[in-house]
Structure 1
Amino acid sequence: MKRITTLFLLILSAPIFSQTNTEEKEKSTAGVSNSIFGVQAGFLGAWAYNELKLTDKIVLKSELGLQTYTLKTKNPDKTFTFLTPEIVLEPRFYYNIQKRADKGKDVSHNSGNFISLRSSYFPDSFTVGEKIADNAFIPELHIVPTWGMKRNLSDHFNYELGAGLGYRKVFETNLKQNNNNDDVAFYLHARIGYKF
């Protein structure tokens, strides 16, 4: 009878041991969050964003915002500063999530260092601010390899820093601007964000 009772207790306790083991494995493997929605503001504009998980370390960040833009025209020789819409798609690889988790550091909401390929499109749909001549702003595409870091300040607030150097493509020529359609794009950002 003792053997049957012991066997019965072992069978009943097996799911408890396997559940504990599974929970330990889940805790030991750190990865990015499934989906994060938020807003960010920096010196040069404001953006709404989403980070969608693709793998344990890769997300696709999409942004829609208003970016400060400075335009220098040749004829007449004048500089305009205004806000223009910006649409961004940016695959990000968070390369040190697991290392931070192993050291006991906060990795929630994708808090870590990343490398990315930032693709920004500036349409000519509208501008906000200083009035510029018709057709003075031309659509542009920037493709910039970027290094950055994201850290949490609290459960909802975070900050992000990043920099990169890449390619700038102007889609049309315009006599009022520089006729060079291809150029170097330098990207630098410092932002404070709020996660919903």
Structure 2
Amino acid sequence: MKSNFFLLALSMFSFSALAQSNEPVQSTELVSMTKLEVGLHGIGVGYEVPFSHKWSVNLSAGLGGGYSIDKNSYANGFKSTFIVNEPVAYVRSEFRYIYNRNKRSIKSKSLLNNAGNYIAFQTKYTTGRVFESDEWSQINNPLNRTLLNEVHWGMQRPLGQKFLYNLHLGLGYAADFDFKNSQFYPAVGLQFAYVISKNQRL
């Protein structure tokens, strides 16, 4: 009787251990990803690479909307314009501190594709129009060489295995090199991305 009880207890313990070992374990380590990005900023290619357990840098380049800072009798303020057939080129770097991945892991929330909340500093440079346009278009909707620096809070979440979205809110400071003006602005960003490739660890 005792031997039967011992065998039953041993069997239950083994089954429990086997079941636990089959549960997927999420790594909190960040991964490097190459992405195709589409959002309010335009369309481009990005490369997100971690350099510690909580820090990463996202580098990207592409085509999208342009900016100008007008301070005259006709207009005053920071202006963002997206003209599909008259895009500007941009390059961007974003340094992120991702602070809640351990908490997400404890709550069994997805860590796929570097999911988490973060605080970031971003620098973005935009050119003038890539394609030639008529003089009236440039006067009516100037798209100038502009440097934008901003600090923002953001969140990145997976949409299935290969897609993700990113939302951020913050405060920025823009300098217009053509009009020689500068101004603070509210920073808002929304982006969807398709993960082309990724590496588990560096």
Q: CA deviation at 1:98?
A: 1.2
Question: What's 2:146 paired with?
Answer: 140
Q: Report the AA paired with residue 68 of structure 1.
A: G
Does the CA contact (< 8 Å) of 2:66 and 2:128 recur in 1?
no
TM-fit CA distance, 1:127: 4.7
> How many Å separate the matches in 1 of 2:71 and 2:174?
19
Answer yes or no: is the 8 Å Cα contact 2:168–2:190 preserved in 1.
yes
Q: Where do 1:26-175 residues align within 5 Å?
A: 30-33=28-31, 35-69=32-66, 71=68, 82=83, 83-124=87-128, 126-127=130-131, 131-132=137-138, 137-173=143-179
Q: Do the aligned partners of 1:29 and 1:98 also contact (CA within 8 Å) in 2?
A: no
Q: Displacement of 1:71 after TM fit? A: 4.9
DSSP-derived class of the 2:104 partner = helix
Q: Deviations over 1:150-178 (max 9, x none)?
A: 100111011111111121112243xxxxx
SS at match of 1:123: strand
Corresponding letter in the other structure for 1:91: F
Query: 5+ unaligned residues in a row in structure 2: which ranges?
Result: 1-20, 197-202
Percent of residue pairs identical: 24
Tell me the CA shift for residue 47 of structure 1.
Answer: 2.2
* Bigger relative CO (Cα 8 Å, ≥ 6 apart): 2
Q: CA RMSD in A?
A: 3.0
- After superposition, the Cα gap between the structure-2 partners of 1:172 and 1:42, relative to the gap in structure 1 and judged at 3 Å, is closer
Alignment CA distance shift 1:74-1:97 (3 Å): closer
In 1, the alpha carbon distance for the partners of 2:129 and 2:153 equals 30
Structure 1 residues 156 and 170, CA, compared in 2 at 3 Å: closer, same or farther? same
Distance 1:154 1:129 in 2: 41
Judge conservation of contact 2:64–2:82 (CA < 8 Å) in 1.
no
Query: In the alignment, residue 105 of structure 1 is paired with which amino acid?
Result: K
| Alpha-carbon separation, structure 2, partners of 1:97 and 1:74 | 44
CA contact (8 A) 1:71 1:81 kept: no
> What is the DSSP-based 3-state SS (H/G/I as helix, E as strand, rest coil) of the residue aligned with 2:105?
helix
Quickly say closer, same or farther: Cα 1:188–1:129, change in 2 above 3 A.
farther
TM-score (norm 1): 0.70
1:44 CA drift (Å):
4.4
